[in-house]
Amino acid sequence: MMTCLFENYARWDIEIESGSGTHVVDSTGTAYLDFTSGIGVCNLGHCHPSVIESVSNQMQKLWHTSNLFKSSLQEQVAEKLTEFSNGSSVFFCNSGAEANEAAIKLARKYTGKSKIITFHQSFHGRTLGTMAATGQDKVKQGFGPMLETFIHLPFNDIEALKNEIDDETAAVMLEIIQGEGGVFPAEESFLLELENLCQKHGALLIVDEVQTGIGRTGTPFAYQHYQISPDIITSAKGLGNGFPTGAMIGKEQLKTAFNPGSHGSTFGGNPLAMSAAKATLDTVFEKEFLSEVNNKGNYLFEKLSEQLSSLKSLKSIRYKGLMFGLEFSEEVGPLLSLLRENGLIVLSAGPNVMRLLPPLTVTYEEMDVAIEKISTTLLESKKATC
Ligand SMILES: Cc1ncc(COP(=O)(O)O)c(C=O)c1O
């Protein structure tokens, strides 16, 4: 088919036309269970009623003013983000890459240094800065030269970090669970030592919570599973439940580094985006809601482990809350296609990892259906290749 679009996405041959909760329907009327949430975005499921109501109300009032004006909506969302994190100031933008760009700029300006350490297999975005920060060569091919001030180290390797971090280091940036890189969690001891090293060398600790934040792992932000206190937290994806928005949250002492004119975004903190974020956070940050995310994650893990125990090609299941990575000894691409044919949409994370990011509102019945589809599809495909 002729297309007027740049072909920078390997798109599936499906057009989703509508969605509700965990369900989506394509242009041919075929229904699917969506265990991707639009790549970790619709954490409250598709077309969540309270988000619809909040955005619809705002739509009738005002769409855009600019950051020349005060905004009580931005204040309310910022209050919520700081109440549920250790930060005290928020900068709003429109995407994960922009939130990370803001973090990189803030770290440079606050410390007066430029060296930033990130990790192999990390993913931080597609802008020139965040692409350079990303620890995956495939993302960079053809776009060089890269910004030179990023150093990439093996993940969870504290010795490598000890050898590299010095007083010239502005920041260490990492995902608490590497999402695009294969659903690999940071180890607790690594995080604790990493924080100590940052403090010793006057380097800021930046956690990229673009994928892991907004309840995905069963806490408001994933770093809260550990006794660490990052200087900067970045957020996007789930923040607007599908309405594009991002945020960078910083600790109190960083506030003075951003003054009028030092950074900005025309659309950042747009009223429609803020109305979506407000409604989203009002639900997701509720204690009972988050404890259910943990319960559901444990249930999904137990059932998947049980049902797939005879599958030799399954090497491990990694999960926290409702962020899952099933690692196989073979490429998962063909399995993803078979699952779609059977009405379940899941993701990959690298060649061998099947990633599940269901809406946090997923029901136990929907999980049972998905587990059944995964086990029958995977076990049958094994039979067919034996
Ligand atoms: C951890 C992480 N950081 C940053 C990004 C980039 O976000 P965006 O695509 O909104 O720019 C992503 C997107 O997948 C991500 O997973």
One-letter amino acid for residue 97 of the chain: A
pLDDT in tens, 136-189: 999 999 999 999 999 999 999 999 999 999 999 999 999 999 999 999 999 999
Unique residue bearing structure tokens 């000894």: 329
Query: Into which CATH architecture does domain 287-380 fall?
Result: Alpha-Beta Complex (3.90)
- Cα 277 to Cα 65, 78, 98, 156, 210: the distances in Å are 17, 10, 17, 33, 14
pLDDT for 385 beyond 70: no
- The ligand 1 site (C-beta within 6 Å) comprises 95-97, 100, 123-125, 175, 179-180, 208, 210-211, 236
Give the mutation target among 36, 94, 174, 211 for probing the ligand 1 site: most ligand atoms within 8 A of CB.
211
Supply φ then ψ for residue 234, to 5 degrees.
Answer: -110, 145
Taking the C-alpha atoms of residue 210 and residue 181, their distance in angstroms, rounded to an integer, is: 13
Q: 43-86: per-residue pLDDT in tens?
A: 999 999 999 999 999 999 999 999 999 999 999 999 999 999 99
Nearest residue by C-alpha to atom 9 in ligand 1: 96
Query: What phi and psi values does residue 305 have, to the nearest 5 degrees?
Result: -60, -45
Residues with Cβ within 8 Å of 55's Cβ and at least 6 positions away in sequence, in order, are 243, 272, 275, 276, 279
Secondary-structure class of domain 49-284 per CATH: alpha beta
Whole-Å CA distances, 194 to 19, 103, 121, 213, 217: 42, 18, 18, 20, 21
pLDDT, one tens digit per residue, over 203-261 is 999 999 999 999 999 999 999 999 999 999 999 999 999 999 999 999 999 999 999 99
Domain borders along the chain are 49-284, 287-380
157 is in an annotated binding site: no
Helix (H, G, I), strand (E, B) or coil at 319: strand
CA distances from 320 to 183, 185, 328 (A): 10, 9, 18
The CA angle 136-142-146, to the nearest 5 degrees, is 65
Which class for 370: exposed (0-12), middle (13-18), buried (19 or more C-beta within 10 A)? buried
Nearest CA to ligand 1 atom 4: 124
Asked if the domains at 49-284 and 287-380 fall in one CATH topology, the answer is no
Q: Is residue 123 marked as binding?
A: yes
Express each pLDDT in 265-324 by its tens digit: 999 999 999 999 999 999 999 999 999 999 999 999 999 999 999 999 999 999 999 999
Whether 229 has a binding-site annotation, put simply, is: no
| DSSP class of 290 | H
Other CB atoms within 10 A of residue 313 CB: 16
